[in-house]
Amino acid sequence: MTQGMGGFGSLKSLQIIGDAEQPLAAPVGQPVAVAPDEGRTEAKVIIVGSGPAGLTAAIYAARANLAPIVLGGYEAGGQLMITSEVENFPGFPEGIQGPELMDRMRAQAARFGALLVDVDVERVDFSARPFRLWAAGVEYTAQSVIVASGASAIWLDIESETRLRGRGVSACATCDGFFFRDRKVIVVGGGDSALEEALFLTNFASEVVMVHRRDQFRGSRIMQGRALAHPKIRVAWNSQVVEVLGDQKVTGVRLRDTVTGDERDEPADGVFVAIGHRPNTGVFRDWLEVDPKGYLTVHGETATRVDGVFVAGDVRDHRYRQAVTAAGDGCRAAIDAERWLAEHELAERATASAW
Ligand code: NAP
């Protein structure tokens, strides 16, 4: 079983540049394929993260002639890579698969000259400019940085869950639901993620039991309505998973009633954990402020306490956490970074038409 999906194909090894200001070998308006500058490690702006926030920042920065480098992470694409149907991103009235939406954003960023490198940033030094970032043994330098490293799934953090990950325990129904055709599965959580996972799993599973620690869901009314009306979904209210059962593979869960304390076993073939996300701030904590929930703090709109470092998306937002709000945030951060670079005479001011 997998925890993420790829699917960027040739985009990794090719940049498509279609800007009218590039010397074109093809008719105007036709994109031209050029060999990517794979070895480039210096940029006016480096973007950390390749979800909707990072890639929108890349599109805007690239169109402002900043030739950004995107350090996109080994699980490039962010949470939408493990999302099924996205029905609320404007412009897609029929909906679009999360990975396809990310493929399109990636192609759009590459088209304008962003260099996309799918490596995890392991360490940064924001003590002086140029800022320094290390990833996969390579040092990158940048005059400005946009942190858009997103958030990752939270696990229950019990030993049996960790042991059986990939053996029936998953945090990604889109990745692993297929393996549970005509099987019974558990979904843990009561938010929109859990409701979405449960509904998606009804495409495969014979029965889906949602385990929620309270007696009402946190998720949106529309998703609640769909889940509660679905004939394959049953809810175990006021229940907490205290152990995932099974030796080599999942055979069920032990549930504790959160009101009475009683325990009982629920047989199942798979367990999908959907209890929220944690911001990916580890490498930035020595340099940037975080709020009590661990999310990065902004000063003003997208700026941080380090002059020249900006933030965007879920790494700072625990309120909205939507693809469209993250994308909007990425746009704002790129505009702020470009203006900051211009004010510091580190970049020529882009023409208004670049936006
Ligand atoms: P969430 O809203 O924070 O919900 C997390 C759920 O997991 C809550 O029901 C919580 O229980 C439960 N939980 C947390 N820790 C737990 C633990 N240790 N053991 C058992 N249960 C635990 O997270 P989310 O569902 O990932 O959603 C995050 C945001 O993304 C929300 O704003 C949501 O609307 C949005 N979202 C939207 C869509 C969509 O529109 N299609 C899809 C997914 C997510 P309590 O309720 O008791 O706290």
The whole-angstrom separation of Cα 51 and Cα 333 is: 14
Mean per-residue pLDDT over the chain, rounded: 87
pLDDT at 276: 87
Catalytic residue flag (residue 120): no
pLDDT at 12: 29
Yes or no: say if 294 and 278 are a contact pair by the CB < 8 Å rule. Answer: yes
Ligand 1 binding pocket mutation candidate from 187, 321, 324 (most atoms within 8 A of CB):
321
Question: Which of the pair, 134 or 320, is modelled with greater confidence?
Answer: 134
Question: Atom 7 (ligand 1): residue with closest C-alpha?
Answer: 275
Tokens encoding 58: 């890349």
* Helix pair angle (192-201, 221-229), 10° resolution: 30
Question: Atom 34 (ligand 1): residue with closest C-alpha?
Answer: 192
Output the pTM of the full model.
Answer: 0.73
Q: What is the DSSP letter of 350?
A: P
pLDDT in tens, 285-294: 999 999 998 9
Distance from Cα 139 to the centre of ligand 1, integer Å? 37
Ligand 1 binding pocket mutation candidate from 275, 277, 317, 320 (most atoms within 8 A of CB):
275
Single out the catalytic residue among 19, 120, 125, 175: 175
Q: Establish whether residue 213 lines the binding site of ligand 1, counting it when its CB lies within 6 angstroms of any ligand atom.
A: yes
pLDDT at 75: 82
The whole-angstrom separation of Cα 94 and Cα 99 is: 15
What count of other Cβ atoms lies within 10 Å of the Cβ of residue 8? Answer: 20
Q: Establish whether residue 189 lines the binding site of ligand 1, counting it when its CB lies within 6 angstroms of any ligand atom.
A: yes
Q: Establish whether residue 249 lines the binding site of ligand 1, counting it when its CB lies within 6 angstroms of any ligand atom.
A: no
Where residue 23 falls among pLDDT bands split at 50, 70, 90?
very low
pLDDT in tens, 70-83: 999 988 888 788 66
Ligand 1 binding pocket mutation candidate from 155, 218, 239, 255 (most atoms within 8 A of CB):
218
Q: Establish whether residue 218 lines the binding site of ligand 1, counting it when its CB lies within 6 angstroms of any ligand atom.
A: yes
Catalytic residue flag (residue 331): no
Distance from Cα 57 to the centre of ligand 1, integer Å? 27
pLDDT at 82: 66
Cα–Cα distance list, 14 to 107, 112, 203 (Å): 10, 12, 36
Q: Establish whether residue 196 lines the binding site of ligand 1, counting it when its CB lies within 6 angstroms of any ligand atom.
A: yes
Tokens encoding 150: 């997103």
pLDDT at 1 over 70: no
Q: Establish whether residue 190 lines the binding site of ligand 1, counting it when its CB lies within 6 angstroms of any ligand atom.
A: yes
User: What average pLDDT does this structure show over 243-258?
Assistant: 97
Q: What is the DSSP letter of 297?
A: P
Q: Establish whether residue 4 lines the binding site of ligand 1, counting it when its CB lies within 6 angstroms of any ligand atom.
A: no
Question: Atom 26 (ligand 1): residue with closest C-alpha?
Answer: 276
pLDDT at 349 over 60: no
Where residue 318 falls among pLDDT bands split at 50, 70, 90?
confident
Q: How many helices (H) and strands (E) does the chain have?
A: 7, 21
The whole-angstrom separation of Cα 333 and Cα 53 is: 9
| H helix intervals, 76-207 | 98-111, 159-163, 173-176, 192-201
Least confident of 23-27, 39-43, 50-54, 115-119: 23-27
The domains of the chain, with CATH numbers, are 8-153+277-354 (3.50.50.60), 159-273 (3.50.50.60)
